Structure formats: C-alpha cells, structure tokens
Amino acid sequence: MTAFPEESFVTPDGRTIGGVMMEMRNITLRFGGVIAIKDISFDIREGEIRAIIGPNGAGKSSMLNVISGFYNPQEGDVLFHGKKRPPMRPYQVARQGIARTFQNIALFDGMSVLDNIMTGRLTHMKTGLLEQAIWWGKAEREEVANRRKVEEIIDFLEIEHIRKTPVGRLPYGLKKRVELARALAAEPKILLLDEPMAGMNVEEKEDMCRFILDVNDEFGTTIALIEHDMGVVMDLSDRVVVMDYGKKIGDGTPDEVRASKEVIDAYLGVAHD
C-alpha cells in the first residue's frame, strides 16, 4: 500500500476506509514544566488501523490518554465526527463509544472473566437503578441480551474455557485477551490499544495480531494502537504516526514512514561525523 486517497476507498484486501472520524488538532500536553506532547496533529479515519509508534518516552501513551480523556491537553482540540469535544472525563469519553486497553492491564482481578467482560456492556445498559434493584421485566431482558453479546465476543476471542475463572489467576497473555474482550464488548466506534503485545511470546503475539485484524475486518472497528514491535506495526497498520520527544516526526503509510529519513534517524540514531 502506498498512497492513501482522500476520499473513502476500498483496500486491496476488501476493507472500506471512510472519512475522518477523529481529528487531533495542534495538541499540546504539559506536566508542570515537562512537555509530553508538542503541537501534534493527525487524524484517524473510519475503519482503519492507525498505529502510533516511537522510542520510549516519546509521548505515545500520553497521546492515547488524551484521546480517551484521562488527560486533558492544555492546547489544541480533539474533534470527534467533525465536532469539537469539550474537556471530558474518561467515563464520558467511554460513553461516546471510545474503548481502550491499558499498557499495564487494568482488569477487575476479583471478578470472573465473564463479569469483567460484562462491565464492558455497562454503557449499553439503560435500565435505571430502581428497575435494576427489583430485577424484573426490562432489567432481566436487558441482562440476557447483553449476556448473549458477551458470549459472542468470548467465542470470537476463544476464551470459552476460562469464562468463570477469576481474572487474577490468569496468565499474562490471557489477561491481555480478556482486556481486549472487555473493550470489544462496548462495541466501540474507536478501539484504543496501548501496547497490546507487550511482554508476549511469539505465539501469543501472532494470536493477538490475528484478533486485531479480525476485529477490524469483521466488525469494521476503527483501531488506534501503540506498539513497539516494528514488524508487527508495519504488518498490521494502514497508517502510522511516528513520535519522538513529544513531537510528530512522521505520518503516513508504513512504506512512507519506513523510507523517511527523520524516522530512521530517531530509531537508529544519527551518525555524528
């Protein structure tokens, strides 16, 4: 894949990539005197897999936290579906249909896999507190419908065998998968993955890659991910943003980015002659 058309188009492997869904415009994020993100702009288009890469400390996770509302940038705007988003709390962003996973896995350790994934459906459950307390009629029907959806996702990610296991007991790779399942359960418009393959062995990585591609392909979910493994990123993503020291140093298709001198310098270092 080389050039990336402006209009919506169909990729060679048959996926449709639409217009701009989310746009980051001149985002600057500071922590006291430290500038984590410096005047970065990029967009995420409907149906694509967008990667954010960069060396350690480049500000990738901060960027993801800005998108998901965990940080509010001092300058710049976040536009969702063309509309400027006011400063929001993370739970409000989640209710807009933006789900995420965390670099260090944030699951509810005391709850079963099933319950963990069910929490992902919370934004879809509309019955009020009283109806829930009585648990009759609408509340029960809603629970059943949501449960069905969750079972679909469990099948999809092949974790049927651990449904009732408390999450705290699972090995790392499976925890990552449960976290993905919880985010997917929200049927998000945009799925944010913070290093979905960190700390995994080759086999687990291959599984995870397959799941990410399948999610994008089957549900048409827009995905933005951070990843260190260059091979993985180049294979998975449609477009890549490259960050270094809080600045954007590259943006384009994997081939374009790979050919960029600035990117090569950032990753391999500059020759001092």
Partner 1 sequence: MPDQVLFAMEVMLNGLMAGVMYALVALGFVLIYKASGIFNYSQGVMALFAALTLVGIQQGQVPFAHLINAVFGTEIHHFGWHLPAIVAIILTIGVMIGLAILIEHFVLKHLVNQEPIILFMATIGLAYFLEGVGDLMWGSDIKKMDVGLPQGLSEFIDTTTYNWFGYGFFIDRLDIAATIIAAILVAGLVAFSQYTKQGRALRAVADDHQAALSVGISLQFIWVLVWSIAGFVALVAGIMWGTKSGVQFSLSLIALKALPVLMLGGFTSIPGAIVGGLIIGVGEKLFEFMIGPLVGGATENWFAYVLALLFLVFRPQGLFGEKIIERV
Interacting residue ranges for partner 1, rule: CB under 8 A:
68, 70, 89-92, 94-95, 99-100, 102, 106-111, 115, 118-120, 122-123, 125, 127, 129, 132-133, 135, 139, 143, 168, 182-183, 186
Instruction: Say how far apart CA 214 and CA 191 lie, in whole Å.
Output: 13
Instruction: Say how far apart CA 123 and CA 92 lie, in whole Å.
Output: 10
Using alpha carbons, list the distances in angstroms from residue 263 to 50, 252, 268. 17, 11, 8
Tell me how many degrees the CA angle 212-157-106 measures, rounded to the nearest 5: 80
Q: How far is the CB of 59 from partner 1 (least distance, A)?
A: 19
Tell how strand 239-244 and strand 49-53 pair up.
parallel
Nearer CB in complex with partner 1: 80/248: 80
Assigned token pair, 12: 């060679």
Instruction: Say how far apart CA 203 and CA 209 lie, in whole Å.
Output: 10
Q: How far is the CB of 253 from partner 1 (least distance, A)?
A: 30
Tell how strand 20-31 and strand 98-100 pair up.
unpaired
Nearer CB in complex with partner 1: 115/262: 115
Nearer CB in complex with partner 1: 94/232: 94
Picking from 60, 77, 26, 80, the residue whose alpha carbon sits closest to that of residue 190 is: 80
Q: How far is the CB of 203 from partner 1 (least distance, A)?
A: 21
Task: Catalogue the E-assigned strands of 102-246.
Answer: 190-194, 222-226, 239-244
Nearer CB in complex with partner 1: 70/245: 70
Instruction: Say how far apart CA 47 and CA 238 lie, in whole Å.
Output: 10
Nearer CB in complex with partner 1: 20/134: 134
Q: How far is the CB of 248 from partner 1 (least distance, A)?
A: 25
Q: How far is the CB of 120 from partner 1 (least distance, A)?
A: 5
Nearer CB in complex with partner 1: 108/219: 108
Q: How far is the CB of 129 from partner 1 (least distance, A)?
A: 6
